[in-house]
Amino acid sequence: MGTNGTPPIKSTPSDELSEERRERLIRGIAEGELPLHRLPGDLSADEAASIRREALERRTETETDGLDSYSFDAETVSGNNCENLIGTAQVPMGAVGPLPIDGDHVQEEVYVPLATTEGALIASVNRGCAALREAGSATVHVEDVGMTRAPVFRTSGIEETRALLDWIEEHEEEIRDRVETTSEYLELLELRTHSVGTTVFVRFRFSTGDAMGMNMVTLACDQVIQELIPPATGVDCVSLSGNYCIDKKPAAVNAQEGRGKRIFAEVELSESVLREALKTTAADLSEVQYRKNLLGSAAAGS
């Protein structure tokens, strides 16, 4: 029986979703009898998304116009990237350029797509591209610092903490071999430990190829936790992420050591380029940098 005594909706595979069955599913969600994630598995991802949209429209008395306009493969997206799929949100996209680049892998003019709803943003960036063109080009270099994940472990005391630190140091190659089997694009660059009494952080730093790689490194760390470190040492893993990674927030460890990709860019702008393209002078630009970016940031603690 359902949560309120109603019969559960059964899955009956069919080539075409009948209007009667579709209505029962929509009504089940709209009336709170059927969770969004419990639609029958024989529905296509597109059918499930459509049912969720209509059910939410009824339950919330809102409209979902436009969410059904998408070009991606719903089966792939709902299975890997987005649960309870109902559609997509569209963001206007513009282009800036051409932007002259002199880098390790690109020595040409490129165009850059930008998705935004912030008026004047693209025009402002395009003005910067014009300044770079007049200056000749920008020299750029990208350094792969590596993506990090730092599980946190709990020990029974400082003696077990010391034993865990020693074990990790002695078995670094075994750990490396284990995590690198999880993806052909993954390379362990560094394994660093940091302890605070009975708390031990193990900070993994990986090269992840062209991917940002957060999911990749998380899966790798999860495997080494499930199969190696706690089983071999007897310590408990409290969390797959101990916040020493550190993700999605400013932190001193990232400022000092970097995380992800570090990008260097250099260009020399003449007085004429500053005046004609950016409508300013070197002196005015320098003062804004000092008073706003340096003093203002220091005053704000950012």
Can you give the pLDDT at residue 40? 94
Residue 196: its H or E element: strand 187-196
Q: CA gyration radius for the chain?
A: 27
Mean pLDDT of 198-208: 97
Give the pLDDT band (50/70/90) at residue 16. low
Euclidean distance between CA atoms 218 and 241, whole angstroms? 8
Average pLDDT on 98-104 reads: 86
pLDDT of residue 210: 87
Query: What percent of the chain is predicted at pLDDT more than 90?
Result: 79
Closest CA to 257 of 184, 192, 161: 192
Give 302's pLDDT tier (boundaries 50, 70, 90).
confident
- Residue 3 confidence (pLDDT) above 80: no
How much of the chain exceeds pLDDT 70, in percent?
A: 95
Tell me, rounded to whole angstroms, the distance of Cα 153 from its chain centroid: 24
Who wins on pLDDT, 64 or 137? 64
Q: Is the pLDDT of residue 15 over 70?
A: no
Q: Judging by DSSP bridges, how do beta strands 152-154 and 93-102 pair with one another?
A: unpaired
Kindly report, residue by residue over 164-185, the tens digit of the pLDDT: 999 999 999 999 999 999 999 9
The residue among 19, 20, 51 whose CA lies nearest residue 38 is 51
Class of domain 93-142+273-300: alpha beta
Domain boundaries, the chain: 1-89, 93-142+273-300, 145-260
CA separation (Å) from 245 to 145, 161, 289? 13, 20, 30
The yes or no reply on domain 145-260 and CATH 3.65.10.10 is no
The DSSP secondary structure of 141-154, one letter per residue, reads EEEEEEEEE--EEE
pLDDT digits (tens, 9 = 90+) for 284-295: 999 999 999 999
Q: pTM (2 decimals)?
A: 0.73
More confident residue, 6 or 78: 78
Q: How far apart (Å, rounded) are the C-alpha atoms in residues 302 and 300?
A: 5
- The pLDDT assigned to 10 comes to 37
Q: What is the mean pLDDT of residues 275-280?
A: 94
- The string of pLDDT tens digits covering residues 30-57 is 999 999 999 999 999 999 999 999 999 9
Predicted local distance difference test score (pLDDT) of residue 5: 45
Average pLDDT, the chain: 91
